[in-house]
Structure 1
């Protein structure tokens, strides 16, 4: 059934943009600045601030816990925070482990109430052409690379790695093991220089867990504009926050961290999963998201 969301205050680039959205078959069919003149059912979203639902990186899900433990964790860490998609990764030491480890996580998340994508994490010294080819065959959208020292970066045949990545081009994402801030900064600086020099699809910085992933990051791993987006053709997944003067000029990350008490509605693919303080926990409502092509959409 088609309907219209009128007077939506969409938060984008730290500003509220007044828009009207035409919804058809759980997809955003149109986003307009003017009033959509149709006789379909209308919903007035004027009292709220609308954002896309969030995508979070999380590697601490208690896969082997009881149903109640998993439900509590998923509710508190995702549903109550307006997150409907998670990124997690399988820790692998050898390339032959990739299919099995990814399959284990898929099985563990079969009852997930939120959508999920799965990357892999490997020590940089294990990064080889054949490893990349298996990731490409398995459609792995994100490869986390553990860096322990700068010497390891010099030993990798980056030209071959670049060739092996093409055309799927899963981004390489650094994970720095050093607790010392200055040493970690040195590793990341060296990583950035190497990636630019070798023209490798990558992220220059680490990804923080339980922090909304930006549109740039989501595009790199192939989720944007499929997820965390309110534009033509996107799925109907959004959050509604009660409007207040003090949150007119904040970004989505600040809204996520400091105004969670104002989150009153979360919609996931057209279904209500949060209304007020009530969370509708639907086991198995989440799906494994198959990424077609990382960095396909130009931002």
Structure 2
């Protein structure tokens, strides 16, 4: 099926612009400010804001013990416009690595949206072998818990760096430290060690219970940029439509979009309508695991980024 999405007010990390999209077989074939020369059915969306389908993280979905709770998690994500979910699998011991990853993949088999499995573990368990296992199983990110007692300097950064040859896995800290002064010290140590050993990272990975889109830096480091979270030629038709402001504000004057206070009224994933006017449609098994052969292909490793929500 071929059609044209016209006059979309596209919101991205770079701001807001007006674009039209030529859609062929549920993929973006071409885009531009105007596509008058192309033939096909036209859908005008000038009364809405348009965003790419969001990439979000969910740390709890693999803990669901029944299908009802599992579905609730997915519905919550879709309701916020998520079409790709980052799913960290918690691993306590290296010996259970393969068993846990198999279980995670089985748990996500009924997902409506695409998913990316990764590793979540205690800082003390991070080792070069963890990197090699991630490479073997195509797991493109690691999240480690940083507690009050965690000694960041004791992590074998040099060996980890060597193990990352040809598969550079980003490593993100999950800050569980309560003391603000200690937290600041740990953050400084983290920045120092990851910079010295050229480990891709970001100080602030979204861990709270309020799903929000992953920033472009993280998507680049994991390796899903530019295929997910962007409206680009060749990408799947993943997008959200948000209600246009009622106060008459011009699109050109808008510089920020508050995802916490706004939910899309329409969500489309690979051409399929997942949400319409507040109703979420659930399609078990429609989502697929994204196995990434080269994390960080478009990422820079010389900075760690800032927290846009602090």
| TM-score, normalised relative to structure 1 | 0.91
In the other structure, the counterpart of 2:261 is 258
Q: 1:110, 1:268 → 2: CA distance?
A: 17
Q: 1:298 to 1:130 in 2, by over 3 A?
A: closer
Q: Kindly provide the CA deviation profile for residues 84-136 of structure 1, in whole angstroms up to 9, marking residues without a partner as x.
A: 11112111122232221111111111111121111111222222222211111
Matches within 5 A, 1:1-299: 1-13=1-13, 15-61=15-61, 63-75=63-75, 77-148=76-147, 152-209=151-208, 210-244=211-245, 245-246=248-249, 248=251, 249-252=254-257, 254=258, 256-260=259-263, 263-297=264-298
Unaligned runs of 5+ in 2: 301-310
Q: 1:16 to 1:94 in 2, by over 3 A?
A: same
Offset of residue 164 of structure 1: 0.3
Offset of residue 63 of structure 1: 4.6
| TM-score, normalised relative to structure 2 | 0.88
Q: Does the CA contact (< 8 Å) of 2:10 and 2:19 recur in 1?
A: yes
3-state SS of 2:265 partner? strand
3-state SS of 2:34 partner? coil
Offset of residue 148 of structure 1: 2.9
Q: 1:105 to 1:16 in 2, by over 3 A?
A: same
Offset of residue 235 of structure 1: 1.2
Offset of residue 211 of structure 1: 2.2
3-state SS of 1:258 partner? coil
Q: Does the CA contact (< 8 Å) of 1:12 and 1:251 recur in 2?
A: no
Q: Does the CA contact (< 8 Å) of 2:62 and 2:89 recur in 1?
A: no
3-state SS of 2:287 partner? coil
Q: Kindly provide the CA deviation profile for residues 266-298 of structure 1, in whole angstroms up to 9, marking residues without a partner as x.
A: 100111111112221111111111112111125
3-state SS of 2:71 partner? helix
| Aligned alpha-carbon RMSD (Å) | 2.0
Q: Does the CA contact (< 8 Å) of 1:89 and 1:120 recur in 2?
A: yes
Deviates more, 1:169-178 or 1:198-207: 198-207
Q: 2:62, 2:193 → 1: CA distance?
A: 36
Unaligned runs of 5+ in 1: none
How many residues align structurally?
Answer: 294
